[in-house]
Chains A and B, each alone.
Chain A
Amino acid sequence: MKAVSARGEVVLEADEPAALRAGPPRMSLRRLWRFKWGVAATAIILTIVGSAVWAPWISPWDPLSVDIRHRLGPPAWMDGGTRAHVLGTDQVGRDLLSRVIYGGRVSLIIGVAAVLVSSSIGVLLGLAAGYFAGRMDWTIMTLVNVMLTFPFVLLALAVIAVLGPSLVNMIIVLGIADWPLYARVIRAETLAIREREFILAGRALGMSHARLVFRQILPNLVSVIVVIATLQVARVIILESFLSFLGLGVQPPTPAWGNMLGEGRVYMLNSWWIATFPGLAIFVTTLAINLMGNALRDWLDPHMKL
């Protein structure tokens, strides 16, 4: 069906598939305003990432330099605070601001690396379960259900207890513990896509399973994967900092938000700032990541169910 305007131009073609007509998302100012929270959150994340990357140039002090004479110094705006240490100093006189800036490195590295591990495992298993169905599906989904019912924290605690705390072990543990969510979503999407005509057509053309899965199905799932992965970075960062908080994660003196919080807890009776600022850094980071993830979802596909 074609609608023709007064000047004889075709203005509407109903047969045309919706995907072609819509084109890539247009960036008008009004559209940008709708995602104001997401844009603000992205700016915050870029700031945090930037300050972590360029920490040696930005931070006013060496995060490890001890200065016992100025220990437990309050933030600049309080009585007894100095402008040299804007957020105050910790129990051995290390500059808190510098440590918070450096601490972002650990959280971001572990967050991103663990998500790369978990999304790779989860996407592969999800594709396999959804595409091959049957016994493979049952096995993978049982495993997913086992892992989803069991608290993530306890699992990570138990494994770290034996492997011993280190950066690489944290990435492995968090990466392995976090894949079931991807597998579940990807499986459901794959099940739906598998029934579409273009897959049938591909099969009729004699495409291999690998080609169908990776070249025909996977590209349709990219936006879902990007959104989940973004949101999971926040979750992994919280978990990582909890393990470090318990002293089972990144070990002192390496500054990490979690272990700073754990050390600060001991001094919270008199020096509230040591525990407050690292925690605030975690909160702001995860909040910004969540807001960006939500905006990303609405931008890429408003109908996505997550």
Chain B
Amino acid sequence: MKRYALRQLLQLGVVVVGISMLAFAILHVIGDPVLLLLPLNAGKEEYERYHKLLGLDKPVYVQYWKFASRAVQGDFGKSWYTDTPAFTLVLERMPPTLYLTSAGLVAALLIALPLGILAALKRHSLVDNLCTMLAVAGQAMPIFWLGIMLIIVFAVRLKALPASGYGTWQHFLMPAFTLGAFLAPLTMRLVRSGVIEIMNMDYIRTARAKGVGENTVVVKHAFRNACIPIITVLGLQFGQLLGGAIVTETVFAWPGVATLTVESIRNQDFPVVQCAVVLLALIIVSVNFLVDMIVGLIDPRIRLG
């Protein structure tokens, strides 16, 4: 287990360094920050002064080292737009994003679990075929369009839900469903194939032979064991879930990190973009690490393989 954990940690380190290099490259290699900061009519002297002030006259690896050593202490520089530290700005917007992600995950499970189990138990029936069609359609659905359609129907026409914003539980319904619809097709297929596989296992036959009721067989024996692969894949899909949350946030004007990032990109406020990218990557990587550890504990075949 120790070796397995160390190997995963090493990979985690590589990922974090890679992402930080990318975030650094965004500003320093591809663009010229001085040109972005100074007004258009600034003279050459002014340009040289800022060039030196930002440390851009030093070699790239020195600049990266400075960036990385500051970033480790949570110092990504000040936002060029609001003059507050980028780290504070991003951190403030983090809770809404995490709430939305959790709500989306819950919504996805609420849709996918019952449908997936039902489809698996009634294989090749009408219900199963309908579920499959739903999954295929769901995977092709651009969720930003789904979000807009929901707004048009429920907020504009029926006036039943708020179109955008954040605060009450009503604000959560449409974004959570949108994000849930993004993750549900994959989850449903996993649940379905997991339950089908396990229903053919010997211990299910044993349970039935013992005279255990069918409901107990499905819930206690089949579903619990099907959970392991589902947790694994969902955990590893966390990055994609966060990606879906980014899309959802921009549609519903959700005050999370993604909206902040898109705003900052529009304002060319690169310290904030860098900070958001690095922090989101850190969260994803930590979640993946935790999932790997949990799965490694549950299933020894994975950590030894």
Contact = CB atoms under 8 A, between A and B. Distances in A.
A279 B143 CA distance: 10
Contacts of B22: 155, 158
A150 interface: yes
DSSP majority for the B interface?
helix
B243 A152 contact: yes
B141 A283 contact: yes
Given A162-B27, A261-B148, A268-B156, A153 B136 contact: no
A253 to B, nearest CB: 19
Interface stretch (A18-26, A49-57, A116-124, A284-292): A284-292
Contacts of A142: 11, 14
A154 interface: yes
Contacts of B246: 151, 153-154, 157
B233 interface: no
Contact of B262 (A157, A162, A282): A157
Nearest to B152: A272
A151 B250 contact: no
Interface in B21-67: 22-23, 26-27, 30-31
Interface string B265-280: 1101010010001001
Interface string A135-162: 0000000110110111111110111011
A163 B239 contact: no
A283 B136 CA distance: 11
Contacts of B247: 153, 242
A287 B136 CA distance: 7
A14 interface: no
A175 B151 CA distance: 32
Contacts of B26: 158-159, 161-162
A163 B30 contact: yes
B261 to A, nearest CB: 7
Contact of B148 (A152, A234, A279): A279
Contact residue range for chain A? 35 or more
A45 to B, nearest CB: 12
A254 interface: no
Contacts of B270: 161
B10 to A, nearest CB: 9
A131 B148 CA distance: 47
Interface of B: 11, 14-15, 18-19, 22-23, 26-27, 30-31, 136-137, 139-142, 144-145, 148-149, 151-152, 156, 236, 239-240, 242-243, 246-247, 250-251, 261-262, 265-266, 268, 270, 273, 277, 280-281, 284-285, 288
Q: Which 5 A-B pairs have the closest CB atoms?
A: A151-B243, A279-B145, A287-B140, A161-B265, A286-B140
30 contacts: A146-B15, A146-B19, A149-B285, A150-B239, A151-B240, A151-B242, A151-B243, A153-B246, A153-B247, A154-B242, A154-B243, A157-B261, A158-B26, A158-B273, A158-B277, A161-B26, A162-B31, A242-B144, A247-B266, A261-B144, A265-B251, A268-B148, A268-B151, A275-B152, A276-B152, A279-B142, A279-B149, A283-B145, A289-B140, A294-B136
Given A145-B15, A264-B148, A290-B136, 16 more contacts: A145-B11, A146-B14, A149-B288, A150-B281, A151-B239, A151-B243, A152-B240, A238-B142, A261-B148, A268-B148, A268-B156, A269-B156, A275-B148, A279-B149, A286-B140, A289-B140
